[in-house]
Structure 1
């Protein structure tokens, strides 16, 4: 990718909207105010990326918990995964033909990737583990992600083997996050996650997902922008960044695209503005 200027004029933010630009948001960023609904601050863009990662992490937890039970039942073996941390307590309740699993992270539990969560994630699904398709509901109880208070939930339609022979989940999610200091934003998504590598290996480091679909982010001023996957995003669990794929970012009549690269594990992306200009950007992740 070509090197470009790191300073981007504020008027360009109004056009490009939802690009996830670098630098961790701090207290001064958090109090930065946009003067109108047409202006998106760098801090607000960082919150957008954080919101998306929170949703990703919850989907990954749900899929991992479900796949453990699926593999144990169908392989009839004592399958376990090293993705879930030792500080997590998982309880299971069977009522009729429904299973409820509660993931209790207590007052604080560090995940394998370094993010810290607390509270509970509750999953419910039918106990028939032979069925090719299953609906999983996900709800939250006093849940926080790196000190961000998260409310909401998701419905996950899990297919044991899709047309490519891979596990697949269609995730409809709606979450709201409240950051320290009181800033609030919401995130909704309809995404398909195909598990293309690593299923059943017993280690999370080789897990790879291809993600498609669209998301909607609403910031604290009620300003909305949409992201739609143009080329499937490749999510390798051994890397905290998306390593390839293309997003289209829409706001009103303007469209920008973000290319995540050719497979390298780095924080670089190539942004194409509505006027065709290309800029290299650094992408935000919690950890």
Structure 2
């Protein structure tokens, strides 16, 4: 009996060592980092969108109630851009020609046409944007973008816009592309020194690899005009959830600094990246 008991204790001791060794081995297993390429593509799409909003708002704010331009602020968009307003047909044609470069280094080419029902500051106004051979830094943009004025707050000098993008596509020079659709609420606060936009809503589409993705803003994203004009075309604060290939990630844009650094959190890890 004594001999059998000793053998059992030795077996139990060895089994415990084996179990502990297995646990140590598991704890050393590196955390699987999700593929972040879809997020990087989504960030490029976002930068294109914010750039578009920048010059669209600049132009719309320059149109008086009578539908005519009150001033000519377009040199800061890019030198040589042509803006034609047809107040009778309520259309605006923005022609970047064969290419012009903004003060912050953004190269745009092609045309954008904007059709509006009335001055965008009036509730109920609808602004529809179409693209004709339009490119930003070599990326081709197609789709239809619609802004609808849902409310205006004269006390706080802000406009609430419902913004959708249908059949959006961004194509790279190698002919790979991202598709995207967005459904957002953008609260635009207008001030003497520029605008500030608070963004909530969702987006979905397919990556350049053909895999579906979706996103949802969980803490309002904030975009500031002075940051956009300096070349920072991403939000300065806010959080967005991003789902791709079975991973759910959180993209944190920071606490308001005008920079290109974001923090990506995923199950078991985080990664800080700088947006190009």
| TM-score, with structure 1 as normaliser | 0.73
Deviation at 1:137, TM superposition (A): 0.8
Quick one: which of 131, 144, 147 aligns to 2:138? Answer: 147
Counterpart-to-counterpart distance in 2, 1:196 and 1:209:
6
TM-align CA RMSD? 2.7
Quick one: which of 240, 248, 267 aligns to 1:247? Answer: 240
Q: Is residue 121–residue 152 contact of structure 2 (8 Å, CA) maintained in 1?
A: no
1:261 equivalent in alignment to 2:257 = no
Equivalence for 1:210: 198
Deviation at 1:248, TM superposition (A): 1.1
Counterpart-to-counterpart distance in 2, 1:61 and 1:191:
19
Deviation at 1:103, TM superposition (A): 0.3
Gaps of 5+ in 1: 1-8, 14-39
Counterpart-to-counterpart distance in 2, 1:179 and 1:128:
35
Deviation at 1:210, TM superposition (A): 1.1
CA pair 119-189 structure 1, distance change in 2 beyond 3 A:
same
1:118 equivalent in alignment to 2:118 = no
Counterpart-to-counterpart distance in 1, 2:196 and 2:152:
16
CA pair 184-128 structure 1, distance change in 2 beyond 3 A:
closer
Query: Which structure has the bigger radius of gyration?
Result: 2
SS at match of 1:85: coil
Deviation at 1:217, TM superposition (A): 3.4
Deviation at 1:167, TM superposition (A): 1.8
Quick one: which of 195, 211, 222 aligns to 2:210? Answer: 222
1:49 equivalent in alignment to 2:70 = no
Quick one: which of 175, 179, 195 aligns to 2:172? Answer: 179
Equivalence for 1:238: 226
CA pair 160-261 structure 1, distance change in 2 beyond 3 A:
same
1:215-252 superposed Cα distances (whole Å, 9 cap, x missing partner): 11311332111111111111112220421111111236
SS at match of 1:49: helix
Q: Which structure is higher in RCO with an 8 Å CA cutoff and minimum separation 6?
A: 1
Deviation at 1:141, TM superposition (A): 0.6
Deviation at 1:270, TM superposition (A): 2.5
Deviation at 1:178, TM superposition (A): 1.4
CA pair 130-232 structure 1, distance change in 2 beyond 3 A:
closer
1:179-234 superposed Cα distances (whole Å, 9 cap, x missing partner): 11221111221122212242xx3x5xx43211111111311332111111111111
Counterpart-to-counterpart distance in 1, 2:259 and 2:87:
43
Counterpart-to-counterpart distance in 2, 1:128 and 1:251:
39
Q: Is residue 193–residue 210 contact of structure 1 (8 Å, CA) maintained in 2?
A: yes
Q: Is residue 55–residue 173 contact of structure 1 (8 Å, CA) maintained in 2?
A: no
